Structure 1
């Protein structure tokens, strides 16, 4: 549900081992109906699924009868999407959130309340995590642009999904503590806004030390919040989360040498937030730096850099096509570093 870059990438691989329905915008569904769906992973493996190998729809009613509903909308659309699919779910349906942010599972459960007043009767909601970027290479071609393995909340009823994914070529780790995983992913996703404000490809932006210094400051504020909340962020990269700010601040030759996997990205890959700004769409900033500011305020943790990044993204959203593209040095000064 909400088939975009992530949804189409997952659906393309899953289609080899399961019946897959894509529910998305008419323009996207029309492209897949015309050309089929092509997906490519980071190793260059490519699969094309012909249109007749998928069920393609623009209406939420298409989820009726699905054992698993993968929610891949932007976080801003979570509540609306869940209200749309709720009438077509059964009490034994399973909804898995493959979205950015910390709060999606609880928001999905809350949005199901009108259709399922009894919490005991509601579909099972599980958190998932997509660690990599996916870029749209062509109208109906989606390519994994960065490294990482999918994760999903460990639960007995998730086993058939994990097995089907493996049969389709997707490796998914089951995790008992998704709170830790989602916080670890949040630390990485804090770069989305910095990348969007610069407008640079990820590979270029990450080689700019000023950009990395801003990211390091955002991560330090989030790590301080994690300590206050007694959360140990999951290690999703070769480096422990607590060590990432120091690496980010290191000279570029040192960072480049120690971060080869992080820099193994498509040359044109950017964050989805950069694409949102270019398209004039609202961004997910409230679930990234905005979430850090929100929770930190309640727990007395100062977050001046994250708060300033939120302000700058809001200004960029309002400015539209006339928004400023910040250099790393300009952005560093703008956040007071």
Structure 2
């Protein structure tokens, strides 16, 4: 449900081992109906899925009969999408959240309450995490552009889905502590706003030490929050989460050498937030730097750099196509570093 870049990419791989329905916007659905769907992973493996092997739909009623529903909408559309599919879910369906942010599974569960007042009869909601970016490289071709493996909440009822995913060619993992996983991903996702504000390709932005200094400051604030609320962020790179800001602040040759083994970035990679700003869509900033600011205020953990980044993204959203593209040095000065 919400078959944009991530949803379509997952669907393309899952289709080799499962009956897959893609529910998305009409232009995407029409193009795939005509030409099929092609997906490519970071290693260059490519699969083309004929349209007749997929169920393609624009209406939420297409979730009827689904064993698993992957919600891949943007975070700000999550509650509405959940309410749309709720009347068509089975009580034994499993709903998996694949959004950025910390609070999505609970938001889905709350949105299901209207259709399933009894928690005992409500579909099971589980968290998932997608560490990589996907870009649309042609009208019906979606390509993974950064490294990492998806992680799903370790639960007996997710096991059949994991087997199918691996059978379809998706390399996935499970973890019992998704709070730690999601917080670890949040630390990486704090770069989405930095990348979007610069408008640079991800590989270029990460070679800019000023950009990395802004990201490091955001991560420092998020790590301070994690300590306040008792979360030990999962390690998403070979380095512990607490060591990432120091790596980001290191000279570019040092950063590049240390990051090369763990962070693979295609030349076309950029953050989905950059795509949202270019398209005039709302961003997920409330669940990235915004959640650090909000939870920080609740728990007495200051986050001035994250707060300033939220302001700058809001200004960019309001400016539309004429938004400012910041250099790393300008952005660093704008957040007071």
- Establish whether TM, by shorter chain, passes 0.5: yes
User: What corresponds to 2:227 in structure 1?
Assistant: 227
Alpha-carbon distance in structure 2 between the residues aligned to 1:25 and 1:135: 17
User: Is the CA contact (8 Å cut-off) linking 1:256 and 1:263 kept in structure 2?
Assistant: no
Alpha-carbon distance in structure 1 between the residues aligned to 2:250 and 2:288: 24
Decide whether aligned partners of structure 1 residues 263 and 166 sit closer, same or farther in structure 2, where only a CA change above 3 A counts.
closer
How far did 1:295 drift?
0.4
How far did 1:76 drift?
0.5
Residue deviations 1:78-106 (CA, integer Å, cap 9, x gap)? 00000000000011010001110000000
User: Is the CA contact (8 Å cut-off) linking 1:206 and 1:263 kept in structure 2?
Assistant: no
Residue deviations 1:100-132 (CA, integer Å, cap 9, x gap)? 000000000000010001111100000000000
How far did 1:34 drift?
1.0
How far did 1:264 drift?
2.1
Alpha-carbon distance in structure 2 between the residues aligned to 1:303 and 1:261: 31
User: What corresponds to 2:43 in structure 1?
Assistant: 43
Alpha-carbon distance in structure 1 between the residues aligned to 2:139 and 2:246: 40
User: What corresponds to 1:114 in structure 2?
Assistant: 114
How far did 1:238 drift?
1.1
Using structure 2 for the length normalisation, give the TM-score.
0.99
Q: In the alignment, is residue 10 of structure 1 matched against residue 10 of structure 2?
A: yes
User: Is the CA contact (8 Å cut-off) linking 1:16 and 1:168 kept in structure 2?
Assistant: yes
User: What corresponds to 1:66 in structure 2?
Assistant: 66
Alpha-carbon distance in structure 2 between the residues aligned to 1:322 and 1:261: 37
User: Is the CA contact (8 Å cut-off) linking 1:129 and 1:182 kept in structure 2?
Assistant: yes
User: What corresponds to 2:269 in structure 1?
Assistant: 269
Alpha-carbon distance in structure 2 between the residues aligned to 1:301 and 1:98: 27
Alpha-carbon distance in structure 1 between the residues aligned to 2:203 and 2:166: 30
Map 1:208-223 onto structure 2 (within 5 A): 208-223=208-223
User: Is the CA contact (8 Å cut-off) linking 1:133 and 1:145 kept in structure 2?
Assistant: yes
Alpha-carbon distance in structure 2 between the residues aligned to 1:326 and 1:210: 11
Alpha-carbon distance in structure 1 between the residues aligned to 2:263 and 2:20: 32
Residue deviations 1:174-213 (CA, integer Å, cap 9, x gap)? 1100000000000000000000000000000000000000
Secondary structure of the structure 1 residue equivalent to 2:143: strand
User: Is the CA contact (8 Å cut-off) linking 2:238 and 2:262 kept in structure 1?
Assistant: no
User: What corresponds to 1:164 in structure 2?
Assistant: 164
User: Is the CA contact (8 Å cut-off) linking 1:72 and 1:98 kept in structure 2?
Assistant: yes
Q: In the alignment, is residue 173 of structure 1 matched against residue 169 of structure 2?
A: no
Map 1:275-294 onto structure 2 (within 5 A): 275-294=275-294
Q: Which runs of 5+ in 2 are unaligned?
A: none
User: What corresponds to 1:237 in structure 2?
Assistant: 237
Alpha-carbon distance in structure 1 between the residues aligned to 2:135 and 2:115: 35
Residue deviations 1:19-39 (CA, integer Å, cap 9, x gap)? 000000000101111110100
Per mean C-alpha deviation after superposition, the further-off stretch among 235-244 and 256-265 is 256-265
Map 1:298-317 onto structure 2 (within 5 A): 298-317=298-317
Alpha-carbon distance in structure 1 between the residues aligned to 2:109 and 2:144: 29
Secondary structure of the structure 1 residue equivalent to 2:260: coil
How far did 1:262 drift?
5.2
Task: Say what the alpha-carbon RMSD is for the aligned residues.
Answer: 0.6
Runs of 4+ in 1 over 4 A off after TM superposition: none
How far did 1:263 drift?
4.8
User: Is the CA contact (8 Å cut-off) linking 1:78 and 1:108 kept in structure 2?
Assistant: yes
Alpha-carbon distance in structure 2 between the residues aligned to 1:335 and 1:290: 15
Secondary structure of the structure 1 residue equivalent to 2:47: strand
Map 1:73-222 onto structure 2 (within 5 A): 73-222=73-222
User: Is the CA contact (8 Å cut-off) linking 1:280 and 1:321 kept in structure 2?
Assistant: yes
How far did 1:45 drift?
0.2
